[in-house]
Amino acid sequence: MIIIIKKGTPAEEITRISQELQENWQIKPEVVVGRHHTIIGAIGDTATIDPSIFQEISPWIERVLRVEKPFKRASREYYHGQASEVIVSTPNGEVSFGEHHPVVVIAGPCAVENEEMIVRTAKRVKAAGAKFLRGGAYKPRTSPYAFQGHGESALEMLWQARQATGLGIVTEVMDTVDIEPVAEVADILQIGARNMQNFNLLKKVGLQSKPVLLKRGMAATMNDWLMAAEYILASGNPNVILCERGIRTFDCQYTRNTLDLAAIPVLRSLTHLPIAIDPSHGTGVAAFVPTMAKASLVAGADALVIEVHPNPAQALSDGPQSLTPEQFDDLSREMALLNQVINDRVQPVPALI
C-alpha cells in the first residue's frame, strides 16, 4: 500500500506514523519525498488490511492506495504518479537522470582494450558532450573463445580515463565477487542483458549504494524486467536506471536485435524509474545507430548508451555496431539540434499574420 501524506506535514508526525505502522501491523515503512508529496510505502503483507484503517492513523494522511502490480517499489504509483530521478556523483559534478532532466549520453567502446585507447576515446566522447564513459572490463560473450575482457587490469585503465577526463564510469559487473572492485572504479554498475535475472547478483548490487544500469534481457517481458528492478530496490538501493537494448524477435536478419522504442511510453505509464536506450546493441549496425538514437530522443528517452571506438574495424568486441569518434561528433551535433526543436515545441507558437 501507499500512504500519501498531506503537504506541510511535520517531520515528527511522519516519523510517528511510520513507527505505528511498524509496531502495530509489522509493516516496513519506506518514506519517499517527491516533488509535490511525501508518501510512505507500506511494505509487507497488506493484502487483508482495509486501507481505511490506515487512513485513521493520522489526520495528516491524505489517502491510502493499494498497489496491485507485482512490482511495488518500481511502480509509478509508488511515487504517486511522478517520475523519480537518479543523481550520480562524478569528478565533473552531479549528473541527474530522469524525466525532468536533460538527456544524459553514455559513450565509449564495448570493451577496454588498452589504456591509450580508452583514455583517447574518453577525451573524444567528452568533447562531444558525453557525461559518462562506458567500457567493459568483464565481457559476457556468446562464444567461450571470444575476447572476455581484461578484468581487473581494465578497471585500472578505466580509472585512468576517469582521472584524465572527469567522466563518470559505467561498466558491467558479472559476478557477485566482482562487485566491490568494480564499485571502487565505476560510478554506475551495469547489469547486462544476460544477467538481468541473476537474482543473487541483483540482491548484492542492491546492497551497495552505487546506481545500477539494468539492461533488459533478450527475451524479457516488461514485467520480467521491472521485477528484476524490484529485486535491487527491495534490497535497499533506490538508484536504478532501466536500459532497453533490443530484444530477440522472429526477424533479426538485418539487425542484431529489435529495438523496442515502444518500451519508453509503456514504462512511463508503469514505473517512475529513468529510462535509457542503447541503439548500438539494439541494432547491431553502426549505420542504423544515429537514426535510432534520434528516434529515442523524440520518444522521450532519459539517457542514451552509444558505442564509440577509434577504429571499429579493429575492435576486439562489437566493432560492427560502434561509431567512430567523428561519427559520434556528427550525431552529437544533430541530437543537440533535435533537443532544441523538442524543447521549442512546448513554447507558444506565434500567430501567423
Residues 6+ apart with CB under 8 A from 121: 108, 109, 133, 135, 161, 308, 309, 310, 325
- For residue 89, what are the β-bridge partners? 94
Worst-scoring range by mean pLDDT, 5-19, 194-208, 333-347?
333-347
Asked whether residue 74 is domain-assigned, the answer is: no
Position 216, amino acid: R
Considering 2-16, 65-79, 312-326, the range whose residues carry the highest mean pLDDT is 312-326
Asked whether residue 77 is domain-assigned, the answer is: no
Using DSSP's 3-state secondary structure scheme, residue 245 falls into coil
Asked whether residue 205 is domain-assigned, the answer is: yes
CA distances from 127 to 132, 294, 323 (A): 12, 19, 15
Confidence of residue 345 (pLDDT cuts 50, 70, 90): very low
CA distances from 262 to 172, 220, 295, 304 (A): 25, 14, 11, 15
144 shares a domain with 31:
no
289 shares a domain with 175:
yes
189 shares a domain with 161:
yes
Summarize the confidence of residues 119-134 as an average pLDDT. 98
Mean pLDDT over all residues of the chain?
A: 90
Are 165 and 133 spatial neighbours (Cβ–Cβ below 8 Å)? Answer: yes
Domain of 20: which CATH number? 3.30.70.1140
Backbone angles phi, psi at 272, to 5 degrees: -90, -5
pLDDT score at 346:
40
Q: Which helix (H) or strand (E) holds 86?
A: strand 85-90
Q: Which helix (H) or strand (E) holds 25?
A: helix 11-25
Worst-scoring range by mean pLDDT, 119-128, 136-145, 206-215, 317-326?
136-145
Strand 28-33 to 303-307 pairing: unpaired
Backbone angles phi, psi at 211, to 5 degrees: -60, 155
Asked if pLDDT for residue 230 goes beyond 70, the answer is yes
Give pLDDT tens digits for 238-247.
999 999 999 9
Are 242 and 303 spatial neighbours (Cβ–Cβ below 8 Å)? Answer: no
Q: What range defines the domain where residue 62 resides?
A: 2-66
Q: How far apart are CA 76 and CA 257, in angstroms?
A: 28
* Half-sphere exposure (Cβ direction) of 139: Cα atoms closer than 13 Å: 23
Position 43, amino acid: I
Asked whether residue 76 is domain-assigned, the answer is: no
Q: Rg of the chain's alpha carbons, rounded to an integer?
A: 22
Are 129 and 168 spatial neighbours (Cβ–Cβ below 8 Å)? Answer: no
10 Å Cβ neighbour count for 70?
Answer: 11
| End residue of a domain, out of 14, 35, 66 | 66
162 shares a domain with 116:
yes
250 shares a domain with 116:
yes
286 shares a domain with 148:
yes
177 shares a domain with 297:
yes
Are 247 and 219 spatial neighbours (Cβ–Cβ below 8 Å)? Answer: yes
Q: How far apart are CA 273 and CA 73, in angstroms?
A: 10
10 Å Cβ neighbour count for 252?
Answer: 13
| Angle, in degrees to the nearest 10, between helices 115-127 and 325-344 | 30
Q: How far apart are CA 132 and CA 125, in angstroms?
A: 9
Asked whether residue 48 is domain-assigned, the answer is: yes
Asked whether residue 274 is domain-assigned, the answer is: yes
Position 202, amino acid: L
148 shares a domain with 28:
no
Cα–Cα nearest to 30, from 172, 204, 233, 207:
233
134 shares a domain with 50:
no
Asked whether residue 79 is domain-assigned, the answer is: no
Are 324 and 312 spatial neighbours (Cβ–Cβ below 8 Å)? Answer: yes
Asked whether residue 352 is domain-assigned, the answer is: no
255 shares a domain with 178:
yes
| End residue of a domain, out of 37, 66, 95 | 66
Backbone angles phi, psi at 169, to 5 degrees: -115, 135
User: Domains in the chain: how many in total?
Assistant: 2
101 shares a domain with 140:
yes
Summarize the confidence of residues 9-36 as an average pLDDT. 84
Pick the residue with more confidence: 288 or 252?
Answer: 288
Using DSSP's 3-state secondary structure scheme, residue 162 falls into helix
159 shares a domain with 35:
no
Q: How far apart are CA 134 and CA 307, in angstroms?
A: 8
Confidence of residue 145 (pLDDT cuts 50, 70, 90): low
Domain of 95: which CATH number? 3.20.20.70
Q: How far apart are CA 233 and CA 240, in angstroms?
A: 8
